[in-house]
Amino acid sequence: MNKKFLLKILVIVLAGLIWLFQAFLKHHQIMQEIPVTLYNIPEKFVLLQNNDVTIPVTFYGRGVDYLFLKMSRPFILINAGNFSYGENKLNIVETNLVFPERAKLEIRNISSDEGQFIFLDRQKLKQLPLELRFSTAADEEFFLENKILNRDQRIQVTGPESVLKAIFSIKTKPISRKQVRDGKISVELEKPEVQIQIMKESILLDVAQTKIINRTISLIPIEYPLNKNITIIPQKVSVLITGPKEIVDKMNQNSIRAYFNSKDLDKLPLNKSRSIAVEFSFPAGIKLIEYTPERIQILRNE
Q: What per-residue confidence (pLDDT) applies to 243?
A: 86
Please give the pLDDT value at position 128. Answer: 94
Which of 182 and 106 is assigned the larger pLDDT? 182
SS3 per residue for the chain: CHHHHHHHHHHHHHHHHHHHHHHHHCEEEEEEEEEEEEECCCCCEEECHHHCCEEEEEEEEEHHHHHHHHHHCCEEEEECCCCCCEEEEECCCHHHEECCCCCCCEEEEECCCCCEEEEEEEEEEEEEEEECCECCHHHHHHHHHCEECCCCCEEEEEEEHHHHCCCCCEEECCECHHHCECCEEEEEECCCCCCCEECCCEEEEEEECCCEEEEEEEEEEECCCHHHCEEEECCEEEEEEEEEHHHHCCCCHHHCEEECCCCCHHHCCCCCEEEEECEEECCCCCEEEEEECCEEEEEECC
Q: Distance between CA atoms of 268 and 190, rounded to whole angstroms?
A: 65
- How far are the Cα atoms of 5, 116, 142, 220 from residue 121, in angstroms, in the given order? 65, 17, 43, 71
Ranges 35-44, 100-109, 190-199, 218-227: which has the least confidence: 100-109
Neighbours of 32 (CB within 10 A): 16
CA distance 126 to 191: 14
**Model-wide pTM > 0.75:** no
Mean pLDDT of 153-159: 92
pLDDT of residue 114: 63
Q: Which residues of 81-97 are buried (b: 16+ CB within 10 A; e: fewer)?
A: eebeeeebebebeeebb
Tens of pLDDT, residue by residue over 11-22, are 565 555 454 544
Q: How confident is the model at residue 172 (pLDDT cuts 50, 70, 90)?
A: very high
Give the separation between CA 178 and CA 143, rounded to whole angstroms. Answer: 11
Residue 202 — very low, low, confident or very high, per pLDDT cuts 50/70/90? very high
Per-residue pLDDT of 206-261, as tens digits, reads 988 778 889 999 999 999 887 777 888 899 999 999 988 888 999 999 999 999 87
Banded model confidence at residue 188, pLDDT cuts 50, 70, 90 = very high
For the chain, what is the mean pLDDT? 82
Task: Give 64-101 pLDDT, tens digit per residue.
Answer: 777 777 777 888 888 888 888 988 888 888 778 777 66
* Backbone angles phi and psi of 291, in degrees to 5: -150, 155
Average pLDDT over residues 54-58: 83
